[in-house]
C-alpha cells in the first residue's frame, strides 16, 4: 500500500510538472508573439520613415537615395498609362506585370512602388514565421529569424530605394508554404508567375519535383497510398515517378509561365521576348559586377564572349546546382538557400540586389544550425562583408577616381568568390539536415534553444 501511495504521488508530481512546463511554454510563446507584433510595427514604421526621407534626400543631395531602376519602373508604368509599350523606355528589361502593378505611381503618387515593395518586405517576415512555425520552431527562434530579415540593412534599404526584389522573395516563400501545406496547384501557379517575373527561380524546379515523392503523396492523401497490385515493377516505378503532384505541378506551372509570356508576346511582340527574356539569358555586363568573370567580360566587351567562354561559366554553375539538389532536396528551404547562394556566386553577372535573393531564405535555416551567432556566425559575416568592402574599395577608385584598378578589382572578385565558398561550406558543415516530409507527414524539427543563442 505504501509503495502504491508513493507511486501515485510520483505520478501526480510528474503530471503537475508536465502541466507547469506546458503552461510556461504557452506563456513564453505568447510573450514572443507579442514581441513579434511590436517588431513588425517597428519595422514597418522604419520603412515608412525611409520612404519619406528618400523624398527629402533626392531633392537636396547630389547622390540620390532612390535606385535608378525605380525611375525605369516608373517611366515604364507611365508609358502603359499612356497606352504605349513599357519597352519604349530604354533599359526596361522586366515583365510588363511589374509596370502594371506600379501604375499608381502615375495616378496616385510616385512613392506607391516603394510602399508596395516595403509592404512586401513585411509579408516576407510573416511568411518566414509561418514556415518556421509549421516546422516546429519555437516562437523565440521565429522572432530572431524574422528579425534577421526585417533589420538587415541590405533588405530594408533595397525596398525603400525602390527595388522590386521583395516581391520575388514573397512569392518564393509563399511557394514553399503552399508545398508544405499540400496546396500543389497554388504552389505551381505561383512558381509559374515567379519564373515569369524573374528567370532565376527556375533552378528550384528540380528539388521541388524530387520532393513531391511518395511521402508527399501520402501527406496530401492523408496517409492513403496506392497498392500496385499485380502491376509490373517497371509500371509501378513509372507511376511512382510520374505521380499526380509532379504532373500537376509541371502542367500548371508551365501553363502559367507560357500563358503570361504568350500574352505579352501577343501585346508587345518580339520586343518583349528580347528585352524581358533573352536579355537575361545572355546578359554580360562588367559594370557593378562582383563576378569573377567580369574582367573577361570587360576585355571582350567589343566582340562578346565566345561559346567556349560561356560554357566555361555555365558548366560549373550547373554542376554545383545538380550536386546540391542531389544531397539536400528533401530539406527544401536549405536546398533553396544553397542553390541561390551558389547560383549568385557562379553567375557571370552579380549585382548587390542579387544578395536579397538568398537573404530571404537565410532566416529559414538559422534554427537548424549549430553555429553560435556571437562567434561562428559573426566570423562568417565578417569574412563575407570584408570581402565585399574590399571589392567596393577598388570599385570606388575605378568609378569615382578614374584610376585603372581593373586588375586589383578582378583579384577582389576572386577573393569575394572564395569568401562565398567558405560561407557555403561552413553553413553546410554546421547544418542539421531536416527532411520536410517523413512517413507521409510534415516532419517537425527537434531543436535545442542553444542553436541560435548569441553565446
Q: Check residue 448 and give its pLDDT.
A: 45
21 lies in some domain: no
Q: Check residue 290 and give its pLDDT.
A: 87
Residue 224 clears pLDDT 60, i.e. is over it: no
338 lies in some domain: yes
pLDDT (tens digit, 9 = 90+) per residue, 418-454? 999 999 999 999 999 888 887 667 766 555 444 444 4
Question: Residue 8, exposed/middle/buried by CB under 10 A (0-12, 13-18, 19+)?
Answer: exposed
Higher per-residue confidence, 421 vs 374? 421
229 lies in some domain: no
pLDDT (tens digit, 9 = 90+) per residue, 293-321? 887 877 776 666 666 767 777 888 999 99
388 lies in some domain: no
The number of CA neighbours under 13 Å toward the Cβ of 64 is 13
Average pLDDT over residues 178-202: 95
The number of folded domains in the chain is 1
Give the domain range for residue 136. Answer: 28-221+240-369+431-442
pTM, two decimals, is 0.88
pLDDT (tens digit, 9 = 90+) per residue, 323-352? 999 999 999 999 999 999 999 999 988 888
355 lies in some domain: yes
Residue 237 clears pLDDT 80, i.e. is over it: no
Residue 414 clears pLDDT 80, i.e. is over it: yes
364 lies in some domain: yes
412 lies in some domain: no
275 lies in some domain: yes
Amino acid at each position: 500500500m505504501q509503495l502504491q501511495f508513493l507511486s501515485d504521488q510520483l505520478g501526480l508530481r510528474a503530471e503537475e510538472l508536465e502541466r507547469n512546463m506546458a503552461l510556461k511554454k504557452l506563456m513564453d510563446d505568447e510573450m514572443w508573439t507579442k514581441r513579434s507584433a511590436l517588431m513588425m510595427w517597428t519595422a514597418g514604421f522604419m520603412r515608412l520613415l525611409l520612404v519619406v526621407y528618400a523624398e527629402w534626400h533626392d531633392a537636396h543631395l547630389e547622390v540620390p537615395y532612390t535606385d535608378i531602376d525605380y525611375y525605369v519602373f516608373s517611366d515604364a508604368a507611365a508609358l502603359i498609362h499612356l497606352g504605349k509599350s513599357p519597352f519604349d523606355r530604354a533599359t526596361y528589361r522586366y515583365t510588363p506585370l511589374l509596370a502594371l502593378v506600379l501604375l499608381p505611381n502615375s495616378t496616385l503618387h510616385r512613392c506607391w512602388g516603394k510602399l508596395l515593395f516595403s509592404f512586401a518586405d513585411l509579408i516576407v517576415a510573416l511568411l518566414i514565421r509561418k514556415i518556421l512555425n509549421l516546422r516546429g520552431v519555437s516562437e523565440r527562434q521565429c522572432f530572431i529569424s524574422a528579425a534577421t530579415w526585417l533589420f538587415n540593412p541590405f533588405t530594408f534599404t533595397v525596398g525603400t530605394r525602390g527595388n522590386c526584389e521583395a516581391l520575388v522573395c514573397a512569392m518564393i516563400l509563399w511557394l514553399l508554404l503552399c508545398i508544405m501545406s499540400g496546396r500543389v496547384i497554388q504552389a505551381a501557379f505561383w512558381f509559374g508567375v515567379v519564373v515569369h517575373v524573374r528567370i532565376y527561380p527556375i533552378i528550384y524546379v528540380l528539388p521541388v519535383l524530387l520532393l513531391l515523392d511518395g511521402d508527399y503523396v501520402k501527406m496530401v492523401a492523408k496517409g492513403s497510398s496506392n497498392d500496385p497490385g499485380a502491376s509490373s515493377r517497371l509500371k509501378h516505378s513509372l507511376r511512382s515517378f510520374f505521380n499526380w503532384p509532379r504532373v500537376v505541378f509541371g502542367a500548371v506551372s508551365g501553363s502559367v509561365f507560357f500563358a503570361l509570356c504568350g500574352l505579352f508576346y501577343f501585346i508587345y511582340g518580339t520586343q518583349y521576348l528580347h528585352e524581358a527574356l533573352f536579355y537575361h539569358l545572355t546578359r554580360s555586363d562588367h559594370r557593378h559586377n562582383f563576378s569573377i568573370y567580369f574582367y573577361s567580360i570587360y576585355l571582350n566587351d567589343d566582340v562578346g564572349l565566345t561559346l567556349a567562354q560561356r560554357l566555361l561559366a555555365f558548366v560549373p554553375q550547373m554542376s554545383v546546382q545538380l550536386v546540391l539538389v542531389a544531397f539536400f532536396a528533401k530539406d527544401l528551404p536549405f536546398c533553396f538557400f544553397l542553390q541561390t547562394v551558389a547560383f549568385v556566386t557562379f553567375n557571370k553577372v552579380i549585382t548587390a540586389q542579387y544578395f536579397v535573393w538568398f537573404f530571404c531564405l537565410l532566416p529559414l535555416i538559422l534554427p537548424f544550425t549549430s553555429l553560435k551567432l556571437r562567434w561562428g556566425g559573426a566570423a562568417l559575416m565578417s569574412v563575407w562583408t570584408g570581402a565585399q568592402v574590399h571589392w567596393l574599395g577598388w570599385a570606388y577608385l575605378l568609378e569615382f577616381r578614374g584610376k585603372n584598378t581593373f586588375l586589383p578589382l578582378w583579384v577582389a572578385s576572386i577573393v569575394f568568390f572564395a569568401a562565398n565558398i567558405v560561407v557555403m561550406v561552413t553553413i553546410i558543415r554546421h547544418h542539421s539536415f531536416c527532411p520536410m516530409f517523413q512517413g507521409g507527414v510534415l516532419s517537425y524539427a527537434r531543436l535545442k534553444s542553444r542553436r541560435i543563442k548569441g553565446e
